[in-house]
Structure 1
Protein backbone atom coordinates (compact mmCIF):
# COMPACT_ATOMS: atom_id res chain seq x y z
CA UNK A 1 0.00 0.00 0.00
CA UNK A 2 1.28 3.50 -0.75
CA UNK A 3 1.56 5.89 2.21
CA UNK A 4 -1.81 7.41 1.29
CA UNK A 5 -4.22 7.45 -1.61
CA UNK A 6 -7.76 8.37 -2.51
CA UNK A 7 -10.33 7.71 -5.22
CA UNK A 8 -13.39 9.74 -6.11
CA UNK A 9 -16.57 7.65 -6.22
CA UNK A 10 -19.87 8.58 -7.81
CA UNK A 11 -22.68 8.69 -5.27
CA UNK A 12 -26.15 9.51 -6.64
CA UNK A 13 -26.17 13.34 -6.80
CA UNK A 14 -23.17 13.64 -4.49
CA UNK A 15 -19.50 12.68 -4.63
CA UNK A 16 -17.69 10.31 -2.29
CA UNK A 17 -14.03 9.93 -1.43
CA UNK A 18 -12.59 6.56 -0.50
CA UNK A 19 -9.12 6.92 1.01
CA UNK A 20 -6.45 4.70 2.50
CA UNK A 21 -3.32 5.42 4.48
CA UNK A 22 -0.71 3.59 6.50
CA UNK A 23 -1.61 5.78 9.50
CA UNK A 24 -4.66 7.70 10.67
CA UNK A 25 -2.68 10.90 9.90
CA UNK A 26 -2.20 9.77 6.30
CA UNK A 27 -5.85 8.82 5.78
CA UNK A 28 -7.03 12.23 7.08
CA UNK A 29 -4.67 13.92 4.61
CA UNK A 30 -5.79 11.63 1.79
CA UNK A 31 -9.50 12.33 2.37
CA UNK A 32 -8.73 16.08 2.40
CA UNK A 33 -6.80 15.72 -0.87
CA UNK A 34 -9.79 13.82 -2.28
CA UNK A 35 -12.05 16.70 -1.24
CA UNK A 36 -9.73 19.08 -3.13
CA UNK A 37 -9.79 16.80 -6.19
CA UNK A 38 -13.60 16.78 -6.12
CA UNK A 39 -13.42 20.57 -6.54
CA UNK A 40 -10.56 20.85 -9.07
CA UNK A 41 -8.61 18.32 -11.15
CA UNK A 42 -5.12 19.80 -11.33
CA UNK A 43 -4.45 22.86 -9.12
CA UNK A 44 -1.41 25.02 -9.90
CA UNK A 45 1.59 25.15 -7.57
CA UNK A 46 0.82 28.60 -6.19
CA UNK A 47 -0.61 29.44 -2.79
CA UNK A 48 0.56 29.80 0.80
CA UNK A 49 0.22 27.21 3.53
CA UNK A 50 -2.12 27.78 6.42
CA UNK A 51 -2.69 25.78 9.61
CA UNK A 52 -5.75 24.70 11.55
CA UNK A 53 -6.61 22.69 14.64
CA UNK A 54 -9.88 20.96 15.49
CA UNK A 55 -10.97 18.82 18.45
CA UNK A 56 -13.94 16.42 18.63
CA UNK A 57 -15.27 13.65 20.88
CA UNK A 58 -14.53 10.78 18.47
CA UNK A 59 -12.31 10.02 15.47
CA UNK A 60 -15.30 10.04 13.10
CA UNK A 61 -16.57 13.37 14.46
CA UNK A 62 -13.04 14.74 14.12
CA UNK A 63 -12.84 13.69 10.47
CA UNK A 64 -16.20 15.36 9.82
CA UNK A 65 -15.18 18.56 11.65
CA UNK A 66 -11.77 18.66 9.91
CA UNK A 67 -13.32 18.39 6.43
CA UNK A 68 -16.04 20.88 7.36
CA UNK A 69 -13.30 23.30 8.48
CA UNK A 70 -11.50 22.91 5.13
CA UNK A 71 -14.73 23.83 3.32
CA UNK A 72 -15.13 26.81 5.67
CA UNK A 73 -11.52 27.88 5.01
CA UNK A 74 -12.21 27.63 1.27
CA UNK A 75 -15.12 30.00 1.69
CA UNK A 76 -13.53 32.59 4.01
CA UNK A 77 -10.03 32.59 2.51
CA UNK A 78 -11.22 32.07 -1.10
CA UNK A 79 -8.69 29.26 -1.55
CA UNK A 80 -8.71 25.59 -2.51
CA UNK A 81 -6.95 23.64 0.30
CA UNK A 82 -4.49 21.21 -1.37
CA UNK A 83 -1.37 19.26 -0.30
CA UNK A 84 -3.06 18.49 2.99
CA UNK A 85 -1.08 17.22 5.97
CA UNK A 86 -2.66 16.12 9.24
CA UNK A 87 -1.54 14.88 12.64
CA UNK A 88 -4.26 13.14 14.68
CA UNK A 89 -3.91 12.50 18.39
CA UNK A 90 -6.11 11.28 21.23
CA UNK A 91 -6.25 13.93 23.98
CA UNK A 92 -8.00 14.49 27.29
CA UNK A 93 -10.77 16.28 25.35
CA UNK A 94 -11.25 13.50 22.79
CA UNK A 95 -9.39 13.62 19.48
CA UNK A 96 -7.44 16.52 17.94
CA UNK A 97 -6.16 17.13 14.42
CA UNK A 98 -3.42 19.65 13.77
CA UNK A 99 -3.27 20.20 10.04
CA UNK A 100 -1.94 22.38 7.26
CA UNK A 101 -2.82 22.91 3.62
CA UNK A 102 -1.62 25.00 0.73
CA UNK A 103 -4.33 27.46 -0.25
CA UNK A 104 -4.58 27.86 -4.02
CA UNK A 105 -6.42 31.14 -4.75
CA UNK A 106 -9.85 30.41 -6.20
CA UNK A 107 -9.34 33.40 -8.51
CA UNK A 108 -6.68 31.38 -10.40
CA UNK A 109 -8.80 28.25 -11.00
CA UNK A 110 -12.30 27.16 -11.94
CA UNK A 111 -13.49 25.08 -9.01
CA UNK A 112 -16.56 22.85 -8.79
CA UNK A 113 -18.89 23.47 -5.87
CA UNK A 114 -18.79 21.12 -2.89
CA UNK A 115 -21.40 22.34 -0.41
CA UNK A 116 -20.79 20.21 2.65
CA UNK A 117 -19.42 17.04 4.19
CA UNK A 118 -22.07 14.55 5.34
CA UNK A 119 -22.26 11.78 7.91
CA UNK A 120 -24.11 9.70 5.29
CA UNK A 121 -22.28 6.36 5.01
CA UNK A 122 -19.12 7.83 6.64
CA UNK A 123 -16.60 5.17 7.66
CA UNK A 124 -13.23 5.48 9.36
CA UNK A 125 -11.64 2.18 10.28
CA UNK A 126 -8.37 0.54 11.10
CA UNK A 127 -7.50 -2.29 8.70
CA UNK A 128 -4.75 -4.91 8.48
CA UNK A 129 -2.91 -2.57 6.06
CA UNK A 130 -3.47 0.72 7.91
CA UNK A 131 -6.54 2.96 7.76
CA UNK A 132 -9.49 3.36 5.41
CA UNK A 133 -12.07 6.14 5.18
CA UNK A 134 -15.18 6.72 3.09
CA UNK A 135 -16.83 10.15 3.08
CA UNK A 136 -19.75 11.53 1.07
CA UNK A 137 -19.86 15.22 0.12
CA UNK A 138 -22.94 17.19 -0.88
CA UNK A 139 -22.38 18.89 -4.25
Structure 2
Protein backbone atom coordinates (compact mmCIF):
# COMPACT_ATOMS: atom_id res chain seq x y z
CA UNK A 1 0.00 0.00 0.00
CA UNK A 2 1.27 3.43 -0.86
CA UNK A 3 0.21 7.03 -0.77
CA UNK A 4 1.51 10.30 -2.18
CA UNK A 5 0.70 13.83 -1.08
CA UNK A 6 -0.35 16.02 -4.01
CA UNK A 7 -0.48 19.80 -4.12
CA UNK A 8 -4.01 21.04 -4.72
CA UNK A 9 -4.37 24.84 -4.90
CA UNK A 10 -4.69 25.93 -1.24
CA UNK A 11 -5.51 22.38 -0.12
CA UNK A 12 -3.64 19.08 0.04
CA UNK A 13 -4.63 15.83 -1.63
CA UNK A 14 -3.77 12.22 -0.87
CA UNK A 15 -3.53 9.75 -3.72
CA UNK A 16 -3.32 6.13 -2.56
CA UNK A 17 -3.29 2.57 -3.84
CA UNK A 18 -3.59 -0.70 -1.96
CA UNK A 19 -4.38 -4.36 -2.60
CA UNK A 20 -7.52 -4.34 -0.40
CA UNK A 21 -10.19 -1.81 0.50
CA UNK A 22 -9.20 -1.93 4.18
CA UNK A 23 -5.55 -1.31 3.31
CA UNK A 24 -6.66 1.60 1.11
CA UNK A 25 -8.52 3.22 4.02
CA UNK A 26 -5.39 2.80 6.16
CA UNK A 27 -3.19 4.26 3.43
CA UNK A 28 -5.37 7.36 2.92
CA UNK A 29 -5.46 7.86 6.70
CA UNK A 30 -1.66 7.54 6.80
CA UNK A 31 -1.58 10.23 4.12
CA UNK A 32 -3.78 12.44 6.30
CA UNK A 33 -1.30 11.96 9.15
CA UNK A 34 1.65 12.76 6.86
CA UNK A 35 -0.12 15.90 5.61
CA UNK A 36 -0.47 17.00 9.23
CA UNK A 37 3.17 16.76 10.31
CA UNK A 38 6.70 15.93 9.16
CA UNK A 39 7.55 13.27 11.76
CA UNK A 40 5.33 11.17 14.02
CA UNK A 41 6.79 10.23 17.43
CA UNK A 42 6.13 6.79 18.91
CA UNK A 43 4.03 8.18 21.78
CA UNK A 44 0.30 7.77 22.39
CA UNK A 45 -2.31 5.15 23.16
CA UNK A 46 -4.51 3.27 20.68
CA UNK A 47 -8.22 4.05 20.49
CA UNK A 48 -10.99 2.30 18.56
CA UNK A 49 -14.13 3.45 16.78
CA UNK A 50 -16.71 2.30 14.23
CA UNK A 51 -18.15 4.24 11.31
CA UNK A 52 -21.12 3.22 9.16
CA UNK A 53 -22.30 4.74 5.87
CA UNK A 54 -24.52 3.88 2.89
CA UNK A 55 -21.71 3.47 0.35
CA UNK A 56 -17.95 2.93 0.03
CA UNK A 57 -17.17 6.55 -0.92
CA UNK A 58 -19.37 7.89 1.88
CA UNK A 59 -17.68 5.49 4.28
CA UNK A 60 -14.21 6.72 3.32
CA UNK A 61 -15.36 10.33 3.71
CA UNK A 62 -17.02 9.66 7.10
CA UNK A 63 -14.01 7.65 8.33
CA UNK A 64 -11.58 10.47 7.52
CA UNK A 65 -13.98 13.04 8.98
CA UNK A 66 -14.12 10.95 12.18
CA UNK A 67 -10.30 10.96 12.39
CA UNK A 68 -10.34 14.77 12.24
CA UNK A 69 -13.07 14.81 14.90
CA UNK A 70 -11.06 12.46 17.14
CA UNK A 71 -8.05 14.75 16.73
CA UNK A 72 -10.07 17.75 17.87
CA UNK A 73 -11.84 16.03 20.77
CA UNK A 74 -8.97 13.91 22.10
CA UNK A 75 -6.26 16.49 21.25
CA UNK A 76 -4.24 13.79 19.49
CA UNK A 77 -2.90 13.18 16.00
CA UNK A 78 -4.27 9.82 14.82
CA UNK A 79 -1.47 7.62 13.44
CA UNK A 80 -0.71 3.95 12.68
CA UNK A 81 -4.17 3.28 11.29
CA UNK A 82 -5.80 -0.16 11.24
CA UNK A 83 -9.10 -0.92 9.52
CA UNK A 84 -11.51 -3.73 8.74
CA UNK A 85 -14.07 -2.76 6.08
CA UNK A 86 -17.28 -4.67 5.39
CA UNK A 87 -20.26 -4.01 3.18
CA UNK A 88 -23.23 -5.42 1.35
CA UNK A 89 -21.26 -6.94 -1.53
CA UNK A 90 -19.07 -8.95 0.85
CA UNK A 91 -19.75 -12.66 0.45
CA UNK A 92 -22.35 -13.76 2.98
CA UNK A 93 -23.24 -10.27 4.23
CA UNK A 94 -26.77 -10.18 2.83
CA UNK A 95 -29.50 -12.64 3.59
CA UNK A 96 -32.21 -13.68 1.17
CA UNK A 97 -34.93 -12.68 3.64
CA UNK A 98 -36.25 -9.15 2.82
CA UNK A 99 -37.70 -8.93 6.36
CA UNK A 100 -34.36 -9.66 8.05
CA UNK A 101 -33.47 -6.57 10.17
CA UNK A 102 -29.77 -7.46 9.81
CA UNK A 103 -30.04 -7.35 5.99
CA UNK A 104 -28.63 -3.89 5.27
CA UNK A 105 -26.94 -1.94 2.52
CA UNK A 106 -24.65 -0.23 5.03
CA UNK A 107 -20.87 -0.23 4.86
CA UNK A 108 -18.86 -0.34 8.08
CA UNK A 109 -15.27 0.31 9.07
CA UNK A 110 -14.00 -1.02 12.40
CA UNK A 111 -10.96 1.17 12.97
CA UNK A 112 -8.23 1.96 15.43
CA UNK A 113 -5.41 4.49 15.55
CA UNK A 114 -2.63 5.50 17.88
CA UNK A 115 -3.41 8.93 19.34
CA UNK A 116 -0.18 10.94 19.45
CA UNK A 117 -0.63 13.86 21.88
CA UNK A 118 -0.67 17.12 19.90
CA UNK A 119 1.89 18.51 22.35
CA UNK A 120 4.38 15.92 21.01
CA UNK A 121 4.15 17.07 17.36
CA UNK A 122 4.37 20.24 15.31
CA UNK A 123 1.14 19.58 13.43
CA UNK A 124 -0.47 21.56 10.63
CA UNK A 125 -4.24 21.77 11.00
CA UNK A 126 -6.25 19.88 8.44
CA UNK A 127 -9.68 21.52 8.65
CA UNK A 128 -11.82 19.00 6.79
CA UNK A 129 -12.07 16.23 4.25
CA UNK A 130 -13.90 17.25 1.06
CA UNK A 131 -15.86 15.50 -1.67
CA UNK A 132 -14.05 17.74 -4.20
CA UNK A 133 -12.54 15.43 -6.85
CA UNK A 134 -12.86 12.44 -4.51
CA UNK A 135 -12.28 9.11 -6.24
CA UNK A 136 -12.56 5.56 -4.89
CA UNK A 137 -12.19 2.85 -7.50
CA UNK A 138 -11.45 -0.85 -7.75
CA UNK A 139 -8.58 -1.39 -10.17
CA UNK A 140 -7.19 -4.55 -11.76
CA UNK A 141 -4.37 -4.68 -9.21
CA UNK A 142 -6.36 -3.49 -6.16
CA UNK A 143 -7.88 -0.21 -5.03
CA UNK A 144 -7.26 3.48 -5.77
CA UNK A 145 -8.33 6.65 -3.91
CA UNK A 146 -7.85 10.38 -4.34
CA UNK A 147 -9.00 12.62 -1.48
CA UNK A 148 -8.67 16.38 -1.04
CA UNK A 149 -8.35 17.93 2.43
CA UNK A 150 -9.05 21.56 3.30
CA UNK A 151 -6.08 23.09 5.15
Superposition TM-score tier, normalisation by shorter sequence = over 0.9
| Residue 123 of structure 1: aligned partner | 135
Deviations along 1:53-98, one digit per CA (max 9) or x if unpaired, are 0000000000000000000000000000000011110152410000
| Residue 97 of structure 1: aligned partner | 109
State the alpha-carbon separation in 2 of the partners of residues 41 and 101 from structure 1.
18
| Residue 52 of structure 1: aligned partner | 49
TM-score, normalization by structure 2: 0.88
Equivalences, count: 136
State the alpha-carbon separation in 1 of the partners of residues 130 and 112 from structure 2.
22
* SS of corresponding position for 1:121: strand
State the alpha-carbon separation in 2 of the partners of residues 46 and 108 from structure 1.
8
* SS of corresponding position for 2:131: coil
Structure whose CA Rg is larger: 2
Output the aligned Cα RMSD.
Answer: 0.7
Matches within 5 A, 1:27-106: 27-91=24-88, 92-106=104-118
State the alpha-carbon separation in 1 of the partners of residues 56 and 150 from structure 2.
21
State the alpha-carbon separation in 1 of the partners of residues 56 and 121 from structure 2.
32
Would the aligned equivalents of 1:55 and 1:93 in 2 still touch at CA under 8 Å? no
Structure 1, unmatched stretches of 5+, are none
Q: Which 4+ runs in 1 deviate beyond 4 A? A: none
Deviations along 1:26-64, one digit per CA (max 9) or x if unpaired, are 000000000000001111001100011000000000000
